[in-house]
A and B are shown apart, each in its own frame.
Chain A
């Protein structure tokens, strides 16, 4: 049984309703790294929010681990593009937030056991801090004292420390400059290999999708006013050789721009 199963899911917004997704089906096995690729507005983030449970489909079902989830919970970690860290907490408190709320309710935080346990959480947090390449001296900083890349690193550590089986990343590196982005891509690949988590990564950047995923799924509209469908489901050869990339990029881009023959294919392929 696949870990994430998306069955004939349709979504429409607004009045009069504008279809966003049209009978999308997708099965994702445990341990896969799936990149969801598509142009802006094609509904790839919507699909991610459906898997999160933050939104419900108009039709169809989404099963995660064989169950329908009605709200986000700790089986699925989440790293959005922006606002991923709590601005009022230091880096360390951001990372320990997950373990703390998992074990202690609001009242239980006042007991001495909490303070003993917190020492353990903090030790773990420092380990993660090192893994994502931050200095221990960064632990006391607030998020807005960090650069965008550092913030996303902390957000990934924050999501991973609760050991979710699934990690959902929504354009997580899209706001970063090219150099930082490349480093982050290497980091997330490494963490994926180490933890064995299943990752669903939304991006509009073809090169990024090929560089990261074991599988790239292209969402696009067939007609300008219809909902998006899965246009291409492409396993990425492992390892992906550099001279394969141009051919794969062309294939992916022709799939995602099929609805609009006038759009230049290069619009999608911004370089990292």
Chain B
């Protein structure tokens, strides 16, 4: 064993690094099934910690059978159709739709931040208000939103936008302010107009950082999405989790939680790949 073991100058080999990075996953999964197995030995009816077989069955049913509320419809015959008629697909689609609507509504937020950062009048007009608005706890607005917009899609999408947009606006504003003055001056001396400077010089060079900022805010987007769905919804991943809680349907809840984590991980990975593809010049520092 080298002297620097566990110290700053330690240099674990590649194999050790990989092994160590998976250790906690293995330990967590192992501990779960050990405890689950023990509980099922004491009480075969245990519902708190379902076994792998139970979860697999739960997930199989979720992915291939329609939701309880849709059971009246005729069962389709082939596998693909069964999946697209299933509870899991229905919930994922409903949540994804709300998620993408909110992401689309972040585009104007980015543009507002850009204009606030560049045009002094826009900055004076919006900045103070948005700084204040940012401090309102979005969840506390939820009852107001349900009263104002009804309990359908609009209220839920608005909750997400109200919760996340101020952060994105202010972040964009700061990034735009951080662009060196030399860049805008140079662009003007080359004959650029105000909008060339805004869209072709400044927006283009802060875009990778804005995308990173949106990536960091994905968690908040999901948080507000789930809050909206758990409180007032008839479909969606969070609605299902909240509904199954009433029958202690842990065999479906646990796979659902992991499924949501997986989806979010994939969205994040996709955005990271996209960022690298669109901005090959960008070095994270």
Give me the interface of A with B, judged by CB distance under 8 Å.
52, 54, 71-74, 76-78, 80, 82-84, 86-89, 97-98, 101-102, 105-106, 142-144, 158-159, 162, 164
Contact = CB atoms under 8 A, between A and B. Distances in A.
Shortest Cβ-Cβ A-B pairs, 7 listed: A98-B190, A102-B191, A74-B191, A72-B188, A83-B180, A83-B182, A142-B281
B188 A71 contact: yes
Given A88-B281, A142-B280, A142-B281, A98 B205 contact: no
A101 B193 contact: yes
Contacts of A98: 190-191
Contact of B182 (A76, A82, A102): A82
Nearest to A109: B200
Interface residues of B, number: 26
B186 A78 contact: yes
Interface in B167-203: 180-183, 185-193, 195-196, 199-201
Interface of B: 180-183, 185-193, 195-196, 199-201, 204-205, 207, 279-283
Nearest to B206: A88
A98 B204 CA distance: 16
B204 to A, nearest CB: 5
A87 B205 contact: yes
A85 B62 CA distance: 55
A54 B200 contact: no
A82 B180 contact: yes
A101 B199 CA distance: 12
24 contacts: A52-B189, A71-B188, A72-B185, A72-B189, A74-B189, A80-B182, A80-B186, A84-B186, A86-B201, A88-B205, A89-B204, A97-B187, A97-B200, A98-B191, A101-B191, A101-B192, A101-B200, A105-B193, A105-B195, A106-B199, A106-B200, A144-B283, A158-B186, A159-B186
Contacts of B201: 86
